[in-house]
């Protein structure tokens, strides 16, 4: 039975991960003549299905890290008013244009020991982290999405979220030029892919943004309006309750990690911390762990099964 935090409309059992879905997808793929072993349903068919799932997992991961590398560039350049096409990727310190082998996601950073080859300036660990995050989210999406349109919709949503994580981490801003057109694109994709029904998507969008605007007013501007604009997309994709769940989780992550960082001395007493990374953690948790979490919560609060 769908619960309040269920980001999907009833009957849409396709996206958030369940082992049964992997099997279902694997089975569906077995039936395709070119991929299935002769006989289809037998042991060979299952093996072919598993091999196919592994193939999707790794291709999703590799494509994801490439997109992650690009979205880091977008998140870095857009708030600085730079073009995302020119100039080619270069070291921000010494300005040298990077060669192809220095642009391989994650691996180049590891091979270079996290430093520029010429000027030895450290390359922030944020680069490989964003690439790995995109790779992981793409891999999970490639193996769990019900159809190609759903896969594209979720991939675009993850990229928008990651781009804004980068802008918030580096400039403490959520640029309108990303959040507002992004919300329009995500709304269309959410409805077309069937992630949300039209009314639920619009209600989620408006409801979540309204909650954030209220929080902005109550907190006297501590919660930025940029976060409210980002929640237009999150509400459109997750629906109102899913969006609200991600916000509650984001506050919990922010409180725990924020206090931890202050306690460890990584933050000065009144130094503000960017909130979008915690929002992203909340969203990822709702999408991939929403069901077990709601079940656990309801059990803990109301008891019974
Ligand atoms: Zn350099």
Per-residue pLDDT tens digits for 55-78: 899 999 999 999 999 999 999 999
- Per-residue pLDDT tens over the stretch 22-66: 444 445 444 444 444 444 455 666 777 788 888 899 999 999 999
100 Cα: distance to centroid of ligand 1 (angstroms): 15
266 Cα: distance to centroid of ligand 1 (angstroms): 26
Question: What is the percent of the chain where pLDDT is above 70?
Answer: 85
112 Cα: distance to centroid of ligand 1 (angstroms): 12
267 Cα: distance to centroid of ligand 1 (angstroms): 27
275 Cα: distance to centroid of ligand 1 (angstroms): 30
- Per-residue pLDDT tens over the stretch 118-171: 999 999 999 999 999 999 999 999 998 888 999 999 999 999 999 999 999 999
Of residues 19 and 126, more confidently modeled: 126
Residues 6+ apart with CB under 8 A from 25: 53, 143, 144, 146
CA distance 154 to 56: 15
Q: How many angstroms separate the Cα of 146 from the Cα of each of 26, 38, 88? A: 11, 25, 36
CA distance 55 to 78: 34
Cα–Cα nearest to 143, from 33, 23, 230, 285: 23
Residue 299's pLDDT is what? 77
pLDDT at 253 over 90: yes
46 Cα: distance to centroid of ligand 1 (angstroms): 50
99 Cα: distance to centroid of ligand 1 (angstroms): 12
127 Cα: distance to centroid of ligand 1 (angstroms): 15
pLDDT at 17 over 90: no
Q: Mapping DSSP to helix (H, G, I), strand (E, B) and coil, where does residue 122 land? A: strand
257 Cα: distance to centroid of ligand 1 (angstroms): 32
183 Cα: distance to centroid of ligand 1 (angstroms): 36
272 φ, ψ (degrees, to nearest 5): -75, 150
Cα–Cα nearest to 165, from 126, 114, 123: 126
In sequence order, the β-bridge partners of residue 90 are 97
102 Cα: distance to centroid of ligand 1 (angstroms): 12
274 Cα: distance to centroid of ligand 1 (angstroms): 27
108 Cα: distance to centroid of ligand 1 (angstroms): 14
91 Cα: distance to centroid of ligand 1 (angstroms): 5
123 Cα: distance to centroid of ligand 1 (angstroms): 9
At 169, list the tokens. 């981490």
Rg, Å, the chain Cα set:
21
The least confident of 86-95, 188-197, 199-208 is 86-95
109 Cα: distance to centroid of ligand 1 (angstroms): 13
The least confident of 16-20, 57-61, 163-167, 209-213 is 16-20
Residue 193's pLDDT is what? 93
Residue 146's pLDDT is what? 84
- Its pTM stands at 0.81
Residue 277's pLDDT is what? 96
């Amino acid at each position: 039975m769908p619960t309040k935090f269920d980001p999907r409309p009833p009957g849409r059992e396709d996206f958030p991960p369940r082992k049964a879905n992997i099997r279902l997808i694997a089975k569906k793929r077995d039936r395709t003549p070119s991929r299935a072993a002769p006989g289809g349903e037998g042991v060979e068919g299952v093996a072919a299905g598993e091999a196919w799932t592994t193939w999707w997992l790794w291709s999703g991961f590799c494509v994801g890290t490439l997109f992650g590398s690009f979205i880091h560039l977008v998140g870095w350049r857009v708030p600085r008013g730079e073009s995302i096409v020119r100039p080619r990727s270069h070291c921000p310190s010494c300005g040298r244009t990077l060669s192809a082998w220095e642009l391989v996601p994650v691996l180049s950073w590891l091979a270079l020991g996290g430093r520029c080859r010429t000027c030895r300036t450290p390359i922030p660990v944020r680069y490989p982290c964003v690439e790995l995050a995109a790779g992981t989210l793409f891999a999970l999406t490639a193996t769990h999405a019900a159809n190609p349109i759903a896969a594209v919709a979720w991939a675009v949503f993850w990229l928008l979220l990651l781009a804004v994580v980068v802008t918030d981490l580096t400039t403490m801003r959520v640029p309108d030029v990303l959040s507002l057109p992004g919300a329009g694109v995500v709304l269309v994709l959410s409805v077309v892919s069937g992630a949300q029904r039209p009314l639920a998507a619009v209600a989620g969008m408006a409801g979540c943004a309204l909650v954030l605007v209220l929080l902005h007013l109550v907190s006297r501007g501590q919660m930025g309006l940029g976060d409210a604009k980002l929640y237009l997309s999150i509400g459109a994709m997750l629906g109102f309750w899913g969006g609200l769940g991600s916000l509650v989780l984001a506050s919990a992550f922010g409180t725990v990690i924020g206090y931890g960082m202050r306690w460890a001395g990584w933050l000065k007493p009144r130094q503000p911390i960017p909130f979008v990374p915690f929002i992203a953690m909340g969203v990822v948790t709702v999408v991939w762990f929403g069901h077990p979490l709601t079940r656990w919560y309801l059990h803990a609060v109301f008891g019974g099964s």
